[in-house]
Structure 1
Amino acid sequence: MMKSNYSNTAQLKELMTAPPMTAARHAEVMRKKIAQRRMLEEARDLKRAIGEVLVEKS
């Protein structure tokens, strides 16, 4: 999926003067991303397994 470059309405000055993300905040963001990715992968695997079971029964 391609993201639009124009969806962020922040001004350049706001972006350049914002304080950098702390290590703790970065770790929190990464943990959340990893948890979401794992949830999606597990759901995809479960969906695939259910599909295989249904195919075997028919």
Structure 2
Amino acid sequence: MMKSNYSNTAQLKDLMTAPPMSAARHAEVMRKRIEQRRMLEEARDLKRAIGDVLSDKR
């Protein structure tokens, strides 16, 4: 499922006048995003594996 590009309610003026993100903050955000994606991928793989095991028992 894709995220909607329109779910962020920030105003353009707020985005354009905000100070740029520091390199350290950007790295932190990216690490967290990657960690969350890996957790979701592992959960999906585990769910698929459990489904495969359950369907093999029938």
2:36 counterpart of 1:36: yes
Q: Which structure has the greater CA radius of gyration? A: 1
Partner deviation per Cα, 1:3-49 (whole Å, 9 max, x = no partner)? 2537414251x222211000000000000000000000000000000
How far is 1:2 from its partner? 5.2
Aligned to 1:27: 27
Matches of 1:49 and 1:11, distance apart in 2:
44
- Classify the secondary structure of the residue corresponding to 1:33: helix
- Which amino acid is 1:20 matched to? P
**Pairs within 5 Å for 1:1-58:** 1=2, 3=4, 5=6, 7-12=8-13, 14-58=14-58
Name the Cα RMSD after superposition.
Answer: 1.9
The runs of at least 4 consecutive aligned structure 1 residues that moved more than 3 Å come to 4-7
Stretches of structure 1 that go unaligned for 5 or more consecutive residues are: none
Count of residue pairs brought into register by the alignment: 57
Structure 1 residues 54 and 38, CA, compared in 2 at 3 Å: closer, same or farther?
A: same
